Amino acid sequence: MKQKLIIKTDPDMPLLPVHGVLGGVTRTGEIEMLLYTDTDALPAPRELLLAEDGSLVNEEKAEGNSVAEEETRIVQRNVHTRTVMTGDQARLLAGWLLKQLDILDEVETKTANPEDLPVPGYADMEEGKEDLKPMDEKKDDTPGRNSKKQGRGRSR
């Protein structure tokens, strides 16, 4: 049976930069990823004194402001995406990312002019799926990651 895949994107889909990932293997044997972005937190509100000419008067003189000797940078970590996937899906994602990095490395070594870069279509991580063997077709009997032989049901 043939299958047709239609990809639609939400016109309000936000662009979210990713600075890092949190997570790991869950008790159910899946991989959970929390993608986050780090930003500087907004400073606490302060009262500023302005002179008649609009210039700033020494901030320490404003009521209620306590100026610390040493300021601390406050970083706000915003988790904006939570994903959960099986080991096989994670392998596909890892393979897809590595392939994109290979393409990026190849492009970066060939040209430094961004206008000369090819504009490829979207690459689907499913394209490499046929290269993966299902977990139950492994040749050896050694339990690997995400293997049911590892005893997932054990209490920790």
% of residues, the chain, pLDDT over 90: 35
Residue 33's φ and ψ, nearest 5 degrees, are -125, 130
The answer to whether residue 28 is domain-embedded is no
The answer to whether residue 75 is domain-embedded is no
What pLDDT is stored for residue 144 in this prediction? 42
The answer to whether residue 14 is domain-embedded is no
On whether the pTM is more than 0.85, the answer is: no
CA angle (85, 86, 91) in 5-degree steps = 95
Domain ranges, residue 113? 87-133
The answer to whether residue 3 is domain-embedded is no
The answer to whether residue 102 is domain-embedded is yes
The answer to whether residue 9 is domain-embedded is no
Give the mean pLDDT of 34-59. Answer: 84
| 50, 32 Cβ separation under 8 angstroms | no
What pLDDT is stored for residue 109 in this prediction? 80
The answer to whether residue 126 is domain-embedded is yes
The answer to whether residue 10 is domain-embedded is no
Cα-trace Rg, the chain: 26
**Number of domains the chain is built from:** 1
